[in-house]
Structures are given as structure tokens and as C-alpha cells.
Amino acid sequence: MNEVNWQNMLRWAISDSNTSIVVNLDGVTGASTYSKFMSAAQQGIGGGAVEGNYFNWEMGQIYQAGQEGNVSFMQGREMLPNPFQ
């Protein structure tokens, strides 16, 4: 994202119920959609948005906003069931 203020834009998008958020889990470690998301979210909550940790930070923002049930997950071009719904 080229937007300088991308972190605030992401927070705004997460809080906007009209925004569709799709999380691509390609390359994310874990045995299930739940474990992949939660592992990334937990790592991102305390880590801040630093280079190499952006994905985890983004997942942490989704989790802290309580929006994980409103996210669509995909992997390998396939939509996955949302374990938080």
C-alpha cells in the first residue's frame, strides 16, 4: 500500500461494516484457519507494525476490533469456512 497513513486507513476499514475484508492465508503457518489467524493475531498485538510483521499486525487489529467473524479467509484461490462465525 502506497498510502503513508495506511495503518489508520486499515483501522477505519476494519471498523466500517460496509468494507469486505479477505485474508489470504497462503504461507501462514498453522494446522487450521483458526490456528493460522490466531497465531498471527497474537504475534501482531504486541509487535506493532514493523517491517516483516505487517501481516501479523493487521491480524491483531482485526482481532482487537472483534471483527474476525466478519472476515473472509482464503488459501490457494479457495475460500475457506470462517471458524469465528
Q: List, as own/partner pairs, every contact residues 6-12 make where C-beta atoms lie below 8 angstroms and the sequence separation is at least 24, other chains included.
A: 7/49, 10/58, 10/61, 11/61, 11/65
C-alpha cell at 45: 498485538
The 3-state DSSP class for residue 50 equals coil
What was the pLDDT predicted at 49?
Answer: 66
What was the pLDDT predicted at 36?
Answer: 97
What was the pLDDT predicted at 51?
Answer: 72
Query: Could you tell me the mean pLDDT of each successive run of 10 residues in the chain, 85 residues long?
Result: 79 93 96 97 82 88 96 97 97
Could you tell me what percentage of the chain is helix, strand and coil, using 3-state DSSP and rounding each to the nearest 5?
45, 15, 40
